């Protein structure tokens, strides 16, 4: 209701900012577009549309448990770390330790080990074993987080945090700066920043010079700064007056702004991989005596540097600086407490710079002034019940839009279907993202087993390298991309299964009549394998023994007790089956022959033991002695087709009693790779009686491969494959990883290649997308699992010039 004679002052919104003691004529909404300014404001925030809103509340998102009974007493800071999300540094006064915790940026929960995250698995000691708290300042540089301590007394050593084999690792490296080769020491810098490809540390001279507040050093371009030689002794400069601290450093606006307590400097330039200092140094045009009180009192936001010094909050474009205290003088008088603990934090989405102050002399801020970077004015002040060492806006999903990989499938091509290795292909959702490969197996749980480089779409899980016995059980594989520390969704799990190998078995005679052969077949685990035992001799073709869901260990059967007939041979063949492995349900045959009645002068033929891996220099075989002592056996071999004499590999003297006669496992060593051998058993008692030759194989030796860009601006890759001498005359298969749903972009078989280097050319692939090439030797006359050698590979970052 309007009043008679009343004069109306209409305020369209209280969003004109906080201006203390402003003269009405200066802030009258009738003169300032209707927007009202505020004398003071707390716990509010200006929104669009002239609304002044009550700020949101605060809530606990992460709680750290006691460590070995010692409570975490302070949470000192958090730093975005792209390989994981966030690294939080905390302190336990009871334990006299500082800890680094790896948290996910998405929800601030424990991040490691990925898939089975635990607090203990996400924690590592920082190497700061002190009862008092440190002041961590950190910067990420090439997938490592460098943490220094902004303490002026009892300063702690540089800590380097990184991921190593999926676990959080912290090191406190020693450096050799002053006199290379003589003495090392830990870096004890006051603050740290990354700028133009190198790391800057301030407040540290060298292992002999110790701490020096005004010295600024940069790392050697191209060297890992955590390496002892990561800093060159001459790459330093004295900034301003000696003895006066460099307090803060932040890159922005193409410079590194270096602050002292009442000075500001511009660092500009580009480093080179030479010794010495490579940057220009100049003070700002008008420093005004402004500076920063500590490393956390400086931030770069929306084209401006914002800082807090003893004279108040300020901003700078990197050339000039202006004080922002005007209009807040009264409030400034109330927050000039413990300014050495003041913080400046940028929140890009709220478009506010938060200046953290202590309401009273204390140990951490709880009052936060908010500077509105768009309206260029002070917004309402926030006051929290808690004291906060640091505040940080941490984005949770910068790359969440990355599509998950697609078309994940097991590969049965080439040499891919192995008993101890699983190979898969897929189509990347993004060629800019790395790909994590995860495996779930009954004896392993779900674990990450590999990370593929960007653009690659083929992987092999080597169970031997993982120390994992696949036990012929189905495995489940899933993938997800990771880019910028953020993961895509997982693909669905896809069933992979290893190749079924012929079973391990043994024949033994049992005393008595008839002469029963006992056959023991080893099952690998409590899986659902079906094991079949066949007797193939014509008169006993119907003899069959199956074990369904065979238990782990040996299953035994006493084979076909029938009338002994001298000179009759039995051959036993065994397979294992897994009906779930559609298309690959049955293993190859394991075979052993034996004379029905022991003590024949003729030996039984040997069998290559295919239950084991083929080897480059040896052959594993089994044979059943046909007689007992005084029979004597030799295992002999020669290169197939050589027509030469045999070499005796070893001898075997059987026991005197037939009751203890059993099949023997023999290994012939000292053989050549990629070779076929005729192997036979010779009985030498009372003459020389040889079994038939059996062709056995050593493993095909792999070639080497190196790829290089071929010179064209379109995909052009030269693939140099070196065929080993043992592979002379064999075929070479070359294929690439660039694939869509399992089809390699490049796939060629080169027949009958001579030993030595061969260069092949590929025009497959996509410019700017990494690719990988594989090469292996091929001989189709080798046993099924071993027709291809192991695969050699090499990557090319860009197939185009």
Partner 1 sequence: MIPLYGFKRSSNTVIQLDDQSVVTDEGAPMSFPNFVTSFVDLGPAGGTARLRRVAQTVTLFGNATIRLVPRVNESEDFSQAETFSLSPVNGTQQVVELYPALTGTRFAIQIEVLLATGPLWFGECDIELVPKRSTVRA
Q: Which of 54, 68, 582, 751 binds partner 1 (CB under 8 A)?
A: 54
Closer Cβ to partner 1, 38 or 550, answer by number: 38
Contacts of residue 74, defined as CB under 8 A and 6 or more positions apart, other chains included, come to: 90, 91, 93, 133, 389
SS (H, E, C) 70-112: ECCCEEEEEEEECCCEEEEEEEECCCCEEEEEEECCCCCCECC
Q: Which of 208, 396, 743, 761 binds partner 1 (CB under 8 A)?
A: 396
Q: Which of 122, 188, 294, 390 binds partner 1 (CB under 8 A)?
A: 390
Query: Phi and psi for 26 in degrees, rounded to 5?
Result: -85, -25
Give the range of 38-46, 221-229, 231-239, 533-541 binding partner 1 by CB under 8 A. 38-46
Q: Which of 180, 276, 348, 630 binds partner 1 (CB under 8 A)?
A: 348
Q: Which of 176, 316, 391, 555 binds partner 1 (CB under 8 A)?
A: 391
Distance CA 25, CA 362 (A): 39
Binding residues for partner 1 restricted to 316-345, rule: CB under 8 A: 345
Interaction of residue 412 with partner 1, rule CB under 8 A: no
Interaction of residue 719 with partner 1, rule CB under 8 A: no
Interaction of residue 400 with partner 1, rule CB under 8 A: no
Query: Phi and psi for 662 in degrees, rounded to 5?
Result: -150, 160
Interaction of residue 789 with partner 1, rule CB under 8 A: no
Contacts of residue 709, defined as CB under 8 A and 6 or more positions apart, other chains included, come to: 716, 717, 718, 796, 798, 799, 800, 801
Interaction of residue 39 with partner 1, rule CB under 8 A: yes
Q: Which of 232, 382, 609, 634 binds partner 1 (CB under 8 A)?
A: 382
Cβ 91 to partner 1 shortest distance, Å: 10
Closer Cβ to partner 1, 155 or 389, answer by number: 389
Closer Cβ to partner 1, 14 or 788, answer by number: 14
Binding mask 483-512 for partner 1 (x = CB under 8 A): ------------------------------
Distance CA 611, CA 634 (A): 23
Q: Which of 385, 538, 582, 751 binds partner 1 (CB under 8 A)?
A: 385
Does residue 658 contact residue 511 with C-beta atoms inside 8 Å? yes
Q: Which of 384, 476, 581, 786 binds partner 1 (CB under 8 A)?
A: 384
State whether residue 341 is helix, strand or coil: helix
Q: Which of 84, 90, 112, 635 binds partner 1 (CB under 8 A)?
A: 90
Cβ 353 to partner 1 shortest distance, Å: 12
Closer Cβ to partner 1, 38 or 248, answer by number: 38
Interaction of residue 24 with partner 1, rule CB under 8 A: yes
Which tokens is 386 given? 């808690």
Contacts of residue 743, defined as CB under 8 A and 6 or more positions apart, other chains included, come to: none
Q: Which of 620, 611, 540 is nearest to 575 (CA)?
A: 611
Interaction of residue 73 with partner 1, rule CB under 8 A: yes
Give the range of 184-192, 394-402, 549-557, 708-716 binding partner 1 by CB under 8 A. 394-402
Q: Report which DSSP code applies to 605.
A: P
Closer Cβ to partner 1, 16 or 625, answer by number: 16
Contacts of residue 757, defined as CB under 8 A and 6 or more positions apart, other chains included, come to: 720, 721, 722, 723
Interaction of residue 19 with partner 1, rule CB under 8 A: yes
Q: What is the CA radius of gyration of the chain?
A: 37
Binding mask 586-625 for partner 1 (x = CB under 8 A): ----------------------------------------
650: left (phi over 0), alpha (psi -120 to 50) or beta: beta
Using CA atoms, how far residue 345 sits from 301, 326, 722, in Å, is 9, 20, 57
Q: Which of 84, 85, 87, 88 binds partner 1 (CB under 8 A)?
A: 88
Interaction of residue 350 with partner 1, rule CB under 8 A: yes
Distance CA 619, CA 613 (A): 9
Contacts of residue 156, defined as CB under 8 A and 6 or more positions apart, other chains included, come to: 98, 127, 128, 130, 134, 149, 188
Interaction of residue 372 with partner 1, rule CB under 8 A: no
Distance CA 499, CA 534 (A): 21
Binding residues for partner 1 restricted to 159-218, rule: CB under 8 A: none
Distance CA 248, CA 194 (A): 12
Does residue 184 contact residue 245 with C-beta atoms inside 8 Å? no
Closer Cβ to partner 1, 77 or 313, answer by number: 77
Q: Compute CA 177 distance to the chain's CA centroid, rounded to the nearest angstrom.
A: 31
Cβ 337 to partner 1 shortest distance, Å: 14
Binding residues for partner 1 restricted to 758-787, rule: CB under 8 A: none
Distance CA 652, CA 654 (A): 6
Cβ 294 to partner 1 shortest distance, Å: 15
Q: Which of 325, 351, 392, 584 binds partner 1 (CB under 8 A)?
A: 392
Does residue 111 contact residue 102 with C-beta atoms inside 8 Å? yes
Q: Which of 43, 268, 337, 766 binds partner 1 (CB under 8 A)?
A: 43
Give the range of 164-172, 191-199, 378-386, 431-439 binding partner 1 by CB under 8 A. 378-386
Binding residues for partner 1 restricted to 650-709, rule: CB under 8 A: none
Size of the site for partner 1 (CB under 8 A): 85
């Amino acid at each position: 209701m309007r009043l008679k004679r009343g004069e109306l002052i209409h305020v369209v919104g209280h969003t004109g900012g906080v201006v203390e003691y402003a003269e009405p004529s200066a802030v009258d909404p009738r003169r300032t577009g209707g927007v009202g300014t505020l004398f003071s404001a707390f716990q509010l925030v200006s929104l669009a549309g002239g609304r002044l809103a009550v700020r949101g509340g605060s809530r606990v998102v992460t709680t750290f448990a006691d460590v070995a009974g010692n409570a975490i007493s302070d949470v000192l800071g958090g730093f975005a770390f792209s390989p994981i999300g966030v690294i939080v540094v905390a302190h336990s006064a009871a334990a006299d330790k500082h800890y680094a915790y790896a948290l996910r940026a998405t929800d601030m929960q424990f991040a490691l080990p990925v898939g089975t995250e635990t607090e203990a698995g996400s924690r590592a000691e920082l190497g700061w074993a002190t009862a008092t708290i440190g002041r961590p300042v950190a910067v990420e540089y090439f997938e490592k987080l460098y943490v220094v301590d902004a303490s002026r007394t009892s300063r702690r050593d540089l800590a380097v945090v990184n991921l190593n084999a999926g676990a959080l690792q912290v090191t406190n490296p020693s450096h050799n700066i002053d006199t290379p080769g003589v003495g090392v020491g830990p870096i004890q810098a006051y603050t740290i920043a990354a700028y133009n490809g190198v790391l800057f540390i301030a407040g540290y001279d060298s292992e002999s010079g110790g701490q020096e507040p005004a010295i600024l050093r940069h790392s050697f371009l191209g060297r890992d700064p955590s390496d002892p030689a990561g800093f060159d002794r001459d790459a330093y400069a004295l900034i301003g007056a000696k003895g006066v601290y460099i307090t803060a450093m932040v890159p922005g606006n193409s410079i590194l702004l270096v602050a002292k307590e009442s000075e500001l400097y511009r660092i500009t330039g580009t480093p080179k991989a030479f010794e010495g200092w490579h940057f220009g140094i100049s003070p700002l045009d008008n420093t005004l005596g402004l500076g920063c009180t500590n490393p956390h009192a400086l931030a770069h936001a929306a084209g401006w540097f914002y800082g807090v010094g003893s004279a108040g909050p300020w901003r700078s474009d990197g050339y000039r600086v202006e004080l922002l205290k005007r209009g807040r003088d009264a409030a400034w008088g109330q927050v000039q407490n413990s300014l050495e603990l003041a913080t400046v934090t940028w929140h890009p989405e709220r478009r506010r710079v938060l200046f953290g102050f202590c309401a009273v002399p204390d140990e951490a801020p709880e009052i936060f002034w908010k500077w509105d970077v768009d309206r260029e004015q002070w917004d309402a002040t926030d006051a929290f019940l808690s004291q906060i060492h640091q505040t940080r806006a941490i984005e949770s999903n910068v790359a969440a839009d990355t599509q998950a990989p697609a078309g994940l499938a097991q590969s049965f091509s080439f040499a891919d279907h192995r008993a101890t290795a699983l190979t898969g292909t897929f189509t990347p959702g993004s060629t800019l993202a790395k790909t994590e490969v995860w495996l779930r197996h009954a004896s392993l749980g779900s674990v990450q087993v590999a990370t593929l480089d960007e653009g690659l779409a083929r992987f092999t899980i080597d169970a031997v390298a993982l120390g994992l016995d696949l036990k012929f059980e189905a495995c489940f594989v899933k993938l997800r991309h990771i880019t910028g520390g953020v993961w895509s969704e997982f693909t669905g799990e896809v069933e992979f299964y290893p190749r079924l190998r012929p079973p391990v078995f043994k024949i033994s005679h049992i005393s008595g009549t008839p002469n029963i052969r006992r056959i023991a077949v080893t099952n690998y685990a409590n899986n659902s394998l079906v094991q079949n035992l066949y007797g193939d001799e014509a008169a006993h073709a119907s003899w069959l023994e199956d074990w369904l869901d065979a238990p782990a260990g040996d299953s035994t059967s006493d084979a076909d007790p029938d009338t002994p007939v001298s000179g009759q041979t039995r051959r036993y063949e065994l397979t294992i089956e897994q009906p779930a492995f559609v298309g690959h349900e049955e293993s190859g045959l394991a075979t052993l022959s034996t004379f029905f009645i022991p003590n024949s002068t003729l030996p039984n033929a040997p069998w290559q033991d295919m239950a084991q891996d083929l080897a480059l220099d040896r052959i594993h075989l089994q044979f059943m002695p046909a007689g007992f002592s005084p029979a004597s056996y030799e295992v002999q071999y020669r290169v197939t087709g050589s027509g030469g004499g045999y070499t005796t590999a070893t001898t075997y003297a059987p026991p005197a009693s037939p009751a203890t006669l059993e099949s023997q496992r023999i290994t012939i060593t000292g053989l050549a790779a990629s070779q076929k051998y005729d192997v036979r058993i010779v009985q030498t008692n009372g003459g020389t009686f040889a079994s038939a030759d059996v062709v056995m194989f050593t493993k095909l030796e792999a070639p080497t491969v190196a790829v290089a860009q071929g010179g064209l601006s379109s995909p052009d890759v030269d693939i140099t494959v070196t065929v080993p001498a043992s592979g002379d005359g064999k075929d070479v298969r070359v294929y690439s990883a660039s694939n869509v749903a399992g089809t390699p972009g490049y796939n060629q078989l080169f027949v009958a290649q001579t030993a030595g280097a061969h260069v092949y050319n590929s025009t497959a692939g996509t410019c700017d997308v990494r690719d990988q090439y594989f090469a292996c030797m091929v001989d189709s006359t080798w046993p099924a699992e071993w027709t291809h050698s192991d695969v050699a590979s090499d990557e090319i970052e860009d197939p185009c010039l």
